[in-house]
Amino acid sequence: MQRRNPVLYEAVLLSEKKYRREKAGIWRAVAEILERPRRRRVAVNLGRIARYVDGDKVAVVPGKVLGSGRLNKPVTVAALSFTGQAERKIREAGGRCLTLRELMEGEYKPSNLIIIG
């Protein structure tokens, strides 16, 4: 992987490190998705997040969150990046926006994480 984006590179390293420490396959999957070429990078609309995330689950988007769609419930979303509109809509619904670094440094159970993308 070429190291042109320091945020992306750091997210991959942290994800692989967390996988080795916890042996939870979700972190390995996140690292593999992040290592894809730019043309295959994940972009997810809020409508899809609202459809698949319930209750205390955390949506993990190894890519960019876009602002199309509605959120009717508070949702915690961790992503590589957010558009301004997506971040605003998540906060207005009472949810939280996390970077992948914040997610990995926090104490979230792998069973409460859902990869969307």
Domain ranges of the chain: 6-115
Q: Read off the pTM.
A: 0.86
**Exposure of 46 in the CB half-sphere (CA atoms within 13 A):** 26
Are 96 and 77 in contact by the 8 Å Cβ rule? The answer is yes
Where on the phi/psi map is residue 49: left (φ > 0), alpha (ψ -120 to 50), or beta? alpha
Are 114 and 62 in contact by the 8 Å Cβ rule? The answer is no
- Please say whether the structural domain 6-115 has been given the CATH code 3.40.50.1100: no
- Sequential pLDDT tens for the chain (117 residues): 556 788 777 787 777 787 878 888 888 888 888 888 888 889 999 999 999 998 889 999 999 999 999 999 999 999 999 999 999 999 999 999 999 889 888 888 888 899 998
Amino acid letter for position 30: V
Size of the chain in residues: 117
Q: Which residue has the tokens 């609309």?
A: 45
Bridge partner residues of 79 (DSSP): 61, 99
